[in-house]
């Protein structure tokens, strides 16, 4: 989908006071450190190094905003929304102070951002819905904010493992209600990209 391919780096935010004016719908990518958030954004936007992916957990420390835009009939670029790459949680080796900073920054953003229409919760398909994921789900108890469980690294599972991970995530989504959904994804094999695009496009349409 062209809209996602239009993504361009917009701003990095280190504190809540630095957030851009809340004007357009925002979709955040959250998840445990190293789950594959930045990689999923790069696959979705078809850009190799838009979001900074790394083997080192805890790499993304800021809220990174990417602007999505379309061209109008006059050829002018019109912003339509933002993708937001969030720093990962649950990194055991993170110092206490860093964790407190995460809670304040990401927690504050997720809890209060009026234009946040949905959160993609990126989880390693081999260990979905861990305690830290559940803590986030409980935290985003807001009917206006959709949730999509992206079970990534599906290339690391066999078919029966994939089925059971997806079943579990779909049951969890069903327990939350119609604002929640789940899918398998592999950045490596480019699997599940269409499904992710159509879910997020639906959120942006409102």
Ligand X SMILES: Nc1nc2c(ncn2[C@@H]2O[C@H](COP(=O)(O)OP(=O)(O)OP(=O)(O)O)[C@@H](O)[C@H]2O)c(=O)[nH]1
Helices (H), the chain: 2-5, 37-45, 96-102, 108-112, 131-139, 159-176, 193-205
- What residues between 184 and 203 interact with ligand X by CB under 6 A? 186-188
Q: How far is the CB of 175 from Mg ion (least distance, A)?
A: 28
Q: Which of 45, 60, 69, 199 binds ligand X (CB under 6 A)?
A: 60
Segment contacting ligand X by CB under 6 A, of 67-75, 148-156, 163-171, 198-206: 148-156
Q: Which is nearer to ligand X, 69 or 153 (CB)?
A: 153
Give kind and range of the element (H or E) at residue 119.
strand 116-124
- What residues between 61 and 90 interact with ligand X by CB under 6 A? 87-88
Asked whether position 38 contacts Mg ion by CB under 5 A, the answer is yes
Buried b (16+ CB within 10 A) or exposed e, 17-46: eebeeeebbbbbbbbbbbbbbbbbbbbbbe
**C-alpha 154 chain-centroid distance:** 17
Q: Which of 57, 79, 107, 202 binds ligand X (CB under 6 A)?
A: 57
End-to-end CA distance of the chain: 17
Q: Which is nearer to ligand X, 69 or 147 (CB)?
A: 147
Coil vs helix vs strand at 100: helix
Binding mask 90-119 for ligand X (x = CB under 6 A): ------------------------------
Segment contacting Mg ion by CB under 5 A, of 3-11, 53-61, 67-75, 119-127: 53-61
Q: Which is nearer to Mg ion, 21 or 92 (CB)?
A: 92
CA distance 87 to 105: 9
For the purposes of burial, counting CB atoms within 10 Å of the CB of 185, is it exposed (0-12), middle (13-18) or buried (19 or more)?
buried
- What residues between 58 and 97 interact with Mg ion by CB under 5 A? 60
Asked whether position 128 contacts ligand X by CB under 6 A, the answer is no
Measured CA to CA in angstroms, residue 68 lies from 1, 2, 15, 36 at distances of 11, 9, 22, 21
- For ligand X, the binding residues (CB under 6 A) are 31, 33-39, 53-55, 57-60, 87-88, 122, 152-153, 155-156, 186-188
Residues that bind Mg ion (CB under 5 A): 37-38, 60
């Amino acid at each position: 989908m062209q809209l996602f391919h239009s993504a361009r780096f917009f701003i990095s935010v280190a504190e809540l006071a630095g957030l851009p004016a809340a004007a357009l719908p925002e979709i955040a990518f959250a998840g445990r450190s190293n789950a594959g958030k930045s990689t999923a954004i790069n696959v979705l936007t078809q850009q190799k190094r838009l979001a900074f992916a790394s083997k080192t957990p805890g790499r993304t420390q800021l809220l990174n905003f990417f602007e999505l835009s379309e061209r109008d009939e006059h050829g002018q670029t019109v912003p339509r929304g933002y993708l937001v790459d969030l720093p990962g949680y649950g990194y055991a080796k993170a110092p206490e102070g860093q964790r407190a900073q995460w809670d304040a920054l990401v927690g504050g953003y997720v809890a209060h951002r009026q234009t946040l229409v949905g959160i993609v919760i990126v989880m390693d398909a081999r260990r979905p819905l861990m305690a830290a994921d559940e803590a986030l789900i409980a935290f985003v108890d807001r009917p206006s904010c959709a949730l999509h469980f992206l079970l990534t690294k599906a290339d690391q599972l066999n078919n029966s493992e994939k089925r059971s991970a997806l079943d579990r995530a779909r049951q969890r989504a069903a327990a939350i209600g119609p604002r929640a959904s789940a899918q398998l994804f592999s950045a490596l094999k480019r699997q599940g990209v269409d499904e992710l695009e159509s879910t997020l496009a639906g959120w942006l349409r409102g």
